Amino acid sequence: MSRRILLVNGPNLNLLGTREPDVYGTATLADVERITAEAAAAVGFEVRALQSNHEGVLVDAIHAAREDCAGIVINPGGLTHTSVVLRDALTGVALPFAEVHISDVLAREAFRHHSYLEDVAAVRVAGRGVDGYADAVRQLAALIP
């Protein structure tokens, strides 16, 4: 079995570090990728990272992951609350995945309280800032034989 995890960051996460720092902090997407890769290496995995503002690109990457990844860590951004397509891609590849949110989505606007992924995610981490990515990797890795 592959010892690789796909890290997927959805729309607007390329703006980390400058977008609403009072909500998302000052860490950048590069920081997120580094934190995730370090956490994965500590438990014997490598990471392939992708960020896109386009849903179809995310779906294609998820489909490709079934060829060489053992699991997925995903922060779907705003697609969390809108995308049945993303849910179908994740369930379709049958890889365990962790849903990550930097902010505490339940403490934010009501429309952010619903996730199309939460009931099918193996792991869910929210409100831990970018450190939540490392938490998600460790929890997901524990589920992968």
For residue 113, indicate whether it is catalytic: no
Q: From CA 127, how far away is CA 51, in angstroms rounded?
A: 20
Per the annotation, does 113 bind a ligand?
Answer: no
Residue 17 DSSP label: T
Per the annotation, does 112 bind a ligand?
Answer: yes
Q: From CA 141, how far away is CA 130, in angstroms rounded?
A: 18
Per the annotation, does 2 bind a ligand?
Answer: no
Q: Which of 54, 63, 101, 116 is catalytic?
A: 101
Find the DSSP H helices in 69-119. Answer: 84-93
Per the annotation, does 22 bind a ligand?
Answer: no
Q: From CA 23, how far away is CA 79, in angstroms rounded?
A: 18
Asked if 139 contacts 124 with a C-beta cutoff of 8 angstroms, the reply is no
Per the annotation, does 5 bind a ligand?
Answer: no
Per the annotation, does 135 bind a ligand?
Answer: no
Residue 28: what residue type? T
Find the DSSP H helices in 25-100. Answer: 29-42, 55-68, 84-93
For residue 54, indicate whether it is catalytic: no
Binding-site residues from annotation for substrate:
75, 81, 88, 102-103, 112
Which residues are designated catalytic?
24, 101
Binding-site residues from annotation:
75, 81, 88, 102-103, 112
